[in-house]
């Protein structure tokens, strides 16, 4: 008998994938966690029934949440990831020679443990062996309250604004992030689908602009995310993501990226009209 997983992207639209087998299914203190194996997208993690990552297309999300900020900031030594318990963002961060310490603050320790066990291609840098990585199982809000003026770059690798991630889309949280960044710090956060989540985006970018002087959206194509068109928010104290982009450093990077490159960096900030209108001031 065929098994299929279906995620509703709206009340009338969804995505469905055939499942070979379930590798893990369990409930943590915070959420339902499932890891399944699919013939088309490999291993896939679901949190509360929503796709977080798959082995086949995770490189798009993790390239694009990490590399744009790290190639704009001139010297990103201290980097924090809030959320991101699968480890993919940390894996990309530690490839940058300038990074001295990459800290992962994930509220759900079970996500980290099961990612290390079942998603080793994502979690290779959070298994305890990487000298640049520090892991904290903690609430991101509580953590940054205690670490002000500490980070060059903060990546908010959160789930959708439901459950434990609700507070990570609010103005009070962005003010805490602003304080946790050094005087020229950059924050990047996933900012949902321009196609399905216009209201969430409008509120999110309004909240960001109340705190940061520079706020821009950029986009990427992620097949298993709602509509396939996904977006990120770039919020900065000093550096503009296009005008201050170090194209030469990006072009000379000594590691391979499957999605990100120096041309795509610039193109990602060129938004379609409807996405611009979602976040107009």
Catalytic hit among 2, 157, 172, 246: 157
Residue 140 labeled ligand binder: yes
Residue 12 labeled ligand binder: no
Distance in angstroms (rounded) separating the CA atoms of residues 208 and 215 = 7
Distance in angstroms (rounded) separating the CA atoms of residues 271 and 229 = 11
Residue 16 labeled ligand binder: no
Report how far apart the first and last C-alpha atoms of the chain are (Å, whole number). 52
Residue 138 labeled ligand binder: no
Residue 164 labeled ligand binder: yes
Residue 106 labeled ligand binder: yes
Structure tokens that stand for 59 in this block: 């490189």
State the pairing for strand pair 14-19/3-8: antiparallel
48: left (phi over 0), alpha (psi -120 to 50) or beta: left
Distance in angstroms (rounded) separating the CA atoms of residues 158 and 173 = 13
Residue 62 labeled ligand binder: yes
The closest of 140, 100, 106, 141 to 122, measured between CA atoms, is 106
Residue 240 labeled ligand binder: no
Tell me if residue 157 is catalytic: yes
Residue 159 labeled ligand binder: yes
Q: How crowded is residue 259: how many other Cβ atoms within 10 Å of its Cβ?
A: 17
Annotated binding site for S-methyl-5'-thioadenosine: 31, 106, 139-140, 164
Annotated binding site for spermidine: 62, 86, 157-160
Annotated binding site: 31, 62, 86, 106, 139-140, 157-160, 164
Catalytic residues: 157
């Amino acid at each position: 008998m065929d098994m299929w997983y279906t995620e509703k992207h709206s009340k009338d639209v969804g995505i469905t994938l055939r499942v070979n087998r379930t590798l893990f299914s369990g409930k943590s203190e915070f959420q339902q966690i499932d890891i399944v194996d699919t013939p088309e997208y490999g291993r896939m993690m679901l949190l509360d029934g929503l796709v977080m990552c798959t082995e086949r297309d995770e490189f798009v999300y993790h390239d694009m949440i990490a590399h744009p900020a790290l190639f704009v900031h001139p010297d990103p030594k201290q980097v924090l990831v809030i959320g991101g318990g699968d480890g993919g963002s940390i894996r990309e961060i530690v490839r940058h020679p300038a990074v001295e310490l990459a800290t992962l603050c994930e509220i759900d320790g079970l996500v980290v443990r099961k990612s290390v066990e079942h998603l080793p291609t994502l979690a290779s840098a959070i298994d305890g062996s990487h000298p640049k990585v520090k892991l904290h199982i903690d609430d991101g809000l509580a953590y940054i309250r205690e670490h002000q003026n500490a980070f060059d770059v903060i990546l908010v690798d959160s789930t959708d604004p439901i459950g434990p991630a609700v507070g990570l889309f609010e103005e009070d949280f962005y003010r805490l992030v602003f304080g946790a960044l050094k005087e020229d710090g950059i924050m990047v956060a996933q900012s949902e689908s321009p196609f399905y989540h216009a209201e969430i985006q409008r509120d999110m970018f309004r909240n960001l602009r109340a705190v940061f002087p520079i706020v821009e959206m950029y986009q990427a194509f992620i097949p298993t995310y709602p509509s396939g068109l996904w977006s990120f928010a770039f919020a900065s104290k000093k550096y503009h993501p296009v005008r201050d982009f170090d194209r030469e450093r990006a072009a000379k990077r000594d590691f391979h990226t499957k999605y990100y490159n120096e041309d795509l960096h610039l193109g990602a900030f060129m938004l379609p009209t409807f996405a611009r209108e979602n976040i107009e001031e």
